[in-house]
Amino acid sequence: MISGECFCGSVKYEISSQLVSARSCHCSRCRKAFSGAGSAYAEISEPSLFRWVEGHDLLSTYKTHESWGLQFCKQCGTTLCGIHGNTVHGVTLGSVNGDPGVQIEQHIFVGSKAPWDHIGGQAPQFTEHAK
C-alpha cells in the first residue's frame, strides 16, 4: 500500500497498486507548478485503485489542458496529483510517504531547464519528450 499526503497533512490518499513511469520534467510550466527545478511524478499502474482517505473537500483543481489538470491542497498549496477527466492518473513523488517503489527513469524537457538546475543521477535526459 502506498500512502501520501500534503504538507499540512489535511489531504491524504492511498494507492493499492504500483507506481510506474517515474520521471522528472524540467519545463518552465512544471517549474512554476511545483515551485522547483521541475516535477518528480509517477503514474499509477491501476488508477481505479487510488482513493482519497481524508480531505477530499480541501482539493482544488487547476486545468492545464481541456481534460488534464493538477490537484492541490487549498490550505497549504501542495501539488498532489495529476488528473485526466475525473481520474487521478499519477502522483507527485514528493507527496508520497516513505519509499514510493520507483526511481526517476528519465528527465524530460531538459532543453528548457533552469540555468541553476544541475541534474544528477544516471537516468537518461531528453531535450523534449522521451522518444
Residues 61-112: pLDDT tens digits?
A: 999 888 899 999 999 999 999 999 889 999 999 999 999 999 999 999 999 9
Q: What's the confidence (pLDDT) of residue 67?
A: 87
Q: Span 24-46, mean pLDDT?
A: 91
Using alpha carbons, select from 58, 62, 48 the residue that is nearest to residue 14. 48
Q: Span 1-13, mean pLDDT?
A: 97
pLDDT surpassing 80 at residue 131: no
Q: What's the confidence (pLDDT) of residue 58?
A: 98
Rounded to whole angstroms, what are the CA distances from 29 to 16, 45, 54, 98? 30, 25, 28, 27
pLDDT digits 0-9 by tens, 42-59: 999 999 999 999 999 999
Q: How far is Cα 102 from Cα 94, in angstroms, rounded to an integer?
A: 12
Buried b or exposed e, range 17-42, using 16+ CB within 10 angstroms:
eebeebbbbbbeebbebbeebbbbbb
pTM, to two decimals? 0.90
Q: Span 22-31, mean pLDDT?
A: 92
Helix or strand run (H / E) with residue 33: helix 28-34
